[in-house]
Amino acid sequence: MSQEYRNTLLQMMIAPTLEQTITLGMTALDQLIHPCAGALLLWDLDMERYIVGEVFVRDTTRIETQFRRDALRIAAQAYAQNKLLPRCLHQSVFYLPLNTPDANHIGAYLYEVSNQSQPLPPVIPDQEFSQAAARALWSMSRIEQADREHAELVAERERLEHLLRAVEQQQMTIDRLLTLERQFSASLEVKIEERTVALREAQARLIQSEKLAVIGQLASSLAHEINNPVQAIQSGLGLAISELESGQIQHVHDDLLMIQNELERIQTIFKQMLDFQRPATFIYRPLDLNAICEGVRILMRKKLQELQIELRLELEDGLPRTCGDSNQMKQVLINLVLNAAEAMSESGGHILIKTQSDKDHTLVSVIDNGSGIQNEHLSRLFEPLFTTKTRGLGLGLAISQEIIQNHQGSITVTSTLGEGTNFTFTLPRKEFCHDDESTSADC
Amino acid sequence: MKASISVALNNHNQGELCGRDAARQALGNMSEGDVSFALLFVSHPQPAQVLKGIQSVLGHVPLIGATSAGEYTQEGYVEDGVGLMLIRHNHIRFHPLHYQKRLFRIGSLLGQLRGRTEEGLRSAYHHRTLMLFPDDASTSLNRLVDKAVEETAMLYNIIGGPSPTIAMPPRLPLLFYNNRLFHAGLAGAEILSLYPVGTALANGWTPISGPYRITKVDDHHVVKIDGRPAKEIYEDFALEQGMYRDSELSREFILRHPLGICQTGNCKVNLVMGFDPHGALQMTSPPPLNSLVHILETQPKAMMTAAQRAIQQAVVGLEGRQAAGALFIDCMSTAMVLETTYQQQRATVQSELGDIPFLGFRSHGVLARLKGQISGHYECSVGACMFPAEDVHP
């Protein structure tokens, strides 16, 4: 074996790249055997087939493209038959497998020696060549593989470092936000403390001023409620005086009785105003709602005449009984009639008190043809201290609702602007009124 | 203020009027409120005039976009025209960005992303998407996606489409960034959303031959496959298919048989544009060295199904929210492959999206980094980006 061949083999063993290893391997093969065409085929582990490492074609009659195709096809067949055995496949084609000592198949040389004009001693190279070539290719391919993996790892590490930097940035942002949050919380606590003190002081001032306001409101409301019976008394006295002067003494007794009733009512109103915020006791008695309506008509007659308002009754005959407190029921009716009267224009109008019943209830309606109530006010009408009037502070309807509810009834209102309003309260029908049904307002 | 997206299409032959009319139409289609962001795609031969016309109506609305090979909406399809999408959103923040190659600063392609810095990981706007419209000539598109993936620290989904270089009539790729028009670089937007943005990519290609090992490659060529000149692999494949009768492989044949890296049923498609004298494949985005590739094939029906699939996947990405609008990125080579059936694909997109306002534009492929898919530059594929509405899906 020539020194030149041995040097090439040595260079192949220490070649720095796979490409150079392949080229030098082919050179060594050429120096050893002088084939007319040769191919180094590499075994691809993923695809489990040969791919071309290097090809040379010395024979000008041979087409390189075709030789590559043939080499791959023939080598695949040889591998399938026996991947370990170097051999002559046809008359002039040889297959030299490259296996490492630990039986890793790294590739194969396929070469053609058809031009045998010159003596070619070893047609199949010695074992030293195939072992050296296999070892060199194996180690080089592994080094290249390792380099590739290393490069991929470096790239991956760079990506992870970017990610890490991003996370660190976020962490810094979070830390900054947390610091700010802590500072803010600390200053917030101080501020809350200060504000709490200020709020308590303001609340105390507010309570004081609200107390004064409520006292004012109650006083004003009281005056409003007392004004009605006082006017009735005034008109009763006027009637009595004129009846005395005209000698109609038989009516004076009725007038004085009416005045006495009204004085009793004033007393009751005082009591009820005082009791508004505390439980009141109702005495349940059989109620004749038609009679109560009559009484209210008599009571309101004079005042309504002055206002040119006609009060009419439409009472259901044989109205079923219900139970309740007649004074309170009367107060509800008076409140509703007064409200209706205040809704009238200066030229007067009509108020209708109507009683009716259904299977379970008795119903009393106070219907006027006054100015009506705006929609947005309807839902608030029964709130204490809500009023749309310049006089009065809105306790009348709140008290009325409370009274009706304490009788297990309900009160509703419907209204059309410019046409009038209908307040209807409903009470349950009751055959018997037991003492144990007496209840308190807050039950 | 509810989300509103409107689109407009125009192909007036005077650029400025074309842009102005499109902007007016899009504004007219929009409910009351300020426009947050505009996406502009122009196949008109006077892109600068188009931009001028649009700005005369929109003023200083943030805008990004690119030139394209054609645009379409529910109204139809135009070449030599403009497609405009206006977006008004109070639950998405758009931060436009741009990069010009001559101003390249080493280490930074995207600049400071607010989602990584100002907004922070704790931000409620934690659904992050990066929209990229580069030119197709000045850089390797695969590398651009890799770079973007690194700079976003893998916190963002990436979707985009390169502006195409068009041979006939010759047109350079151009990019829009607010009132500027430039080439060689990219225009993009960081999209930070309260709700998930639906992004998806699909194609109808399947492996027909391979696998093969890429053994030598450069920026725009696959030089060797399986250690052989790459052209030989195509010649052998054509022989196997009984299609290689002439001395040269036809352009149609290689166009219909791109290379692809396939994983779990999805293939990253890269078209073969031709062969150089040494038998290397000419490609815009060659597969990387040592990768295993297949030769792919498709059928028109498969490509239409793929368009539907992209939309359906994007809808799934919205996680139950309704779509306020959709951007459809459609590789211009799809039309070359589908030829006369390309219109059917557009009709499929239209019917799948129903009443959702959408804008499609024909780019040079799709750039994507999406969950479960290979990142990089896909050709002959469709990308969908669906913006969420505030309302959840009934």
d(C-alpha B4, C-alpha B30), whole Å: 7
Option in A51, A68, A162 nearest B150 (CB): A162
Option in B226, B232, B290 nearest A148 (CB): B290
- Residue A310, SS3 per DSSP: strand
Cis check for the bond before B211: say yes or no (omega within 30 of 0).
Answer: yes
Is residue A371, in this structure, part of any structural domain at all? yes
pLDDT for B251: 81
Give the pLDDT of chain B (394 residues) as one tens digit per residue.
455 899 999 999 999 999 999 999 999 888 777 888 999 999 999 999 999 999 999 998 999 999 999 999 988 999 999 999 999 888 899 999 998 876 545 557 888 888 877 766 667 888 999 999 999 988 889 889 988 888 887 788 999 999 999 887 888 999 999 999 998 899 999 999 999 999 999 988 889 998 999 999 998 899 999 999 999 999 889 888 877 665 567 888 888 899 999 987 788 999 998 888 888 999 988 998 889 999 998 888 888 888 888 999 999 999 888 899 999 999 988 888 877 777 888 888 888 888 899 999 999 999 998 877 788 999 989 999 999 987 655 4
d(C-alpha A90, C-alpha A71), whole Å: 12
> What letter would DSSP give residue B135?
B
Q: Place A282 in a pLDDT band, splitting at 50, 70 and 90.
A: low
Q: Which of A142-156, A420-434, B116-130, B160-174 shows the lowest mean pLDDT across its residues?
A: B116-130
Cis check for the bond before B388: say yes or no (omega within 30 of 0).
Answer: no
Backbone angles phi, psi at B96, to 5 degrees: -65, 150
CATH of residue A21's domain is 3.30.450
d(C-alpha B383, C-alpha B260), whole Å: 17
Is residue A130, in this structure, part of any structural domain at all? no
B40: distance to nearest CA of chain A, Å? Answer: 31
pLDDT for A206: 63
> What letter would DSSP give residue A201?
H
Evaluated on CA atoms B33, B36, B41, B45, the torsion sign reads positive
CATH of residue A360's domain is 3.30.565.10
Sorted by sequence, the CB contacts under 8 Å of residue A297 that are 6+ apart come out as A311, A313, A353
Q: Place A123 in a pLDDT band, splitting at 50, 70 and 90.
A: low
**By the CB < 8 Å criterion, does B227 face chain A?**
yes
Q: Which residues of B touch A173 (CB under 8 A)?
A: 117, 120-122
Backbone angles phi, psi at B377, to 5 degrees: -100, 115
Please indicate whether, in this complex, the C-beta atoms of A169 and B116 are within 8 angstroms of each other. yes
A129: distance to nearest CA of chain B, Å? Answer: 23
Number of Cβ within 10 Å of residue A342's Cβ equals 15
Number of Cβ within 10 Å of residue B40's Cβ equals 29
Sort strands B37-42 and B63-67 into parallel, antiparallel or unpaired. parallel
**By the CB < 8 Å criterion, does B288 face chain A?**
no
Is residue A251, in this structure, part of any structural domain at all? no
B120: distance to nearest CA of chain A, Å? Answer: 6
Considering only residues 23 to 62 of chain A, which have any Cβ-Cβ distance to chain B shorter than 8 Å?
42, 44, 46-47, 51-54
Higher pLDDT, A271 or B330: B330
pLDDT for B122: 67
DSSP string for B7-30: EEEE--SSHHHHHHHHHHHHHHTS
**By the CB < 8 Å criterion, does B232 face chain A?**
yes
Q: Which residues of A touch B154 (CB under 8 A)?
A: 159, 162-163
User: Would you say B129 and B193 are in contact if contact means Cβ atoms under 8 Å apart?
Assistant: yes
Q: What is the pLDDT of residues A407-417, one digit of tens each?
A: 889 999 999 98
Q: Check pLDDT > 80 for residue A179.
A: yes
User: Which has the closest alpha carbon to B69: B173, B199, B181, B160?
Assistant: B173
Q: Show the tokens assigned to A215.
A: 């006292």
Q: Check pLDDT > 80 for residue A217.
A: no
Q: What is the pLDDT of residues A319-343, one digit of tens each?
A: 988 888 888 888 889 889 888 888 8
Option in B120, B215, B236 nearest A170 (CB): B120
User: Which has the closest alpha carbon to A371: A402, A348, A394?
Assistant: A348
B226: distance to nearest CA of chain A, Å? Answer: 5
Is residue A316, in this structure, part of any structural domain at all? yes
Tally of structural domains, chain A: 2
> What letter would DSSP give residue A210?
H
Nearest CA in chain A to B155: A163
Evaluated on CA atoms A268, A270, A271, A276, the torsion sign reads positive
User: Would you say B229 and B280 are in contact if contact means Cβ atoms under 8 Å apart?
Assistant: yes
Over residues A179-190, mean pLDDT: 86
Considering only residues 154 to 173 of chain A, which have any Cβ-Cβ distance to chain B shorter than 8 Å?
158-159, 162-163, 165-167, 169-170, 173
Phi-psi region of A353 (alpha: psi -120 to 50; beta: other; left: phi over 0): beta
Q: What is the mean pLDDT of chain A?
A: 81
d(C-alpha B231, C-alpha A155), whole Å: 31
Length of chain B: 394
Residue ranges of domains in chain B = 4-199+303-392, 206-297
Burial class (CB in 10 A: 0-12, 13-18, 19+), A163: middle
Option in A51, A54, A162 nearest B153 (CB): A162
Sorted by sequence, the CB contacts under 8 Å of residue B344 that are 6+ apart come out as B300, B304, B338
**By the CB < 8 Å criterion, does B153 face chain A?**
yes
Q: Check pLDDT > 60 for residue A41.
A: yes
Nearest CA in chain A to B289: A148
Evaluated on CA atoms A156, A160, A166, A169, the torsion sign reads negative
Question: Structural domain of residue A11, as residue ranges?
Answer: 3-125
Of the residues A105, A125, A145, the one at which a domain ends? A125
Compute and round to an integer the Cα radius of gyration of chain B: 20
Q: Place A209 in a pLDDT band, splitting at 50, 70 and 90.
A: low
Is residue A241, in this structure, part of any structural domain at all? no
Is residue A144, in this structure, part of any structural domain at all? no
Is residue A132, in this structure, part of any structural domain at all? no
pLDDT for B360: 93
First to last CA, chain A: 123
| Angle subtended by helix axes A326-342 and A396-406, to nearest 10 | 150
Phi-psi region of B265 (alpha: psi -120 to 50; beta: other; left: phi over 0): left
> What letter would DSSP give residue A360?
S
Q: Show the tokens assigned to A84.
A: 């370990």
Best mutation target among B112, B118, B121 (most A Cβ atoms within 10 Å) is: B121
Cα A150 to the chain's mean position, in Å?
51
Considering only residues 204 to 223 of chain B, which have any Cβ-Cβ distance to chain A shorter than 8 Å?
211-213, 215
**By the CB < 8 Å criterion, does B17 face chain A?**
no
Cα B79 to the chain's mean position, in Å?
17
Task: Report the run of H or E that residue B274 belongs to, with start and end.
Answer: strand B274-275
pLDDT for A437: 43
Tokens 């709140």 belong to residue: A398
Q: Check pLDDT > 60 for residue A422.
A: yes
First to last CA, chain B: 20
d(C-alpha B371, C-alpha B264), whole Å: 13
Please indicate whether, in this complex, the C-beta atoms of A166 and B116 are within 8 angstroms of each other. yes
Number of Cβ within 10 Å of residue A441's Cβ equals 17
Number of Cβ within 10 Å of residue B284's Cβ equals 23
Percent of chain A past pLDDT 90, that is, above it, reads: 14
Please indicate whether, in this complex, the C-beta atoms of B150 and A170 are within 8 angstroms of each other. no
Q: Place A443 in a pLDDT band, splitting at 50, 70 and 90.
A: very low
Higher pLDDT, A434 or B114: B114
Around A183, how many Cα atoms within 13 Å sit in the side-chain half-sphere? 6
Tokens 């959709």 belong to residue: B326
> What letter would DSSP give residue A344?
S
Q: Place A391 in a pLDDT band, splitting at 50, 70 and 90.
A: low
Q: What is the pLDDT of residues A65-99, one digit of tens each?
A: 888 998 999 999 989 888 777 777 777 788 888 88
B182: distance to nearest CA of chain A, Å? Answer: 29
User: Would you say A371 and A331 are in contact if contact means Cβ atoms under 8 Å apart?
Assistant: no
Q: Check pLDDT > 50 for residue A439.
A: no
pLDDT for A306: 80
- Residue B225, SS3 per DSSP: strand
Q: Which residues of B touch A44 (CB under 8 A)?
A: 213, 226
Size of interface A-B (CB pairs under 8 A): 60
The dihedral over CA atoms of B326, B329, B332, B337, expressed in degrees to the nearest 10, equals: -80
The dihedral over CA atoms of B232, B234, B240, B241, expressed in degrees to the nearest 10, equals: -160
Nearest CA in chain A to B149: A159
d(C-alpha B196, C-alpha B388), whole Å: 7
d(C-alpha A38, C-alpha A42), whole Å: 13
d(C-alpha A73, C-alpha A90), whole Å: 13
Best mutation target among B112, B228, B375 (most A Cβ atoms within 10 Å) is: B228
Option in A159, A169, A173 nearest B154 (CB): A159
- Residue B220, SS3 per DSSP: coil
pTM of the model: 0.62
Option in A46, A54, A68 nearest B292 (CB): A46
**By the CB < 8 Å criterion, does B149 face chain A?**
yes
Higher pLDDT, A275 or A32: A32
Considering only residues 168 to 197 of chain A, which have any Cβ-Cβ distance to chain B shorter than 8 Å?
169-170, 173-174, 177
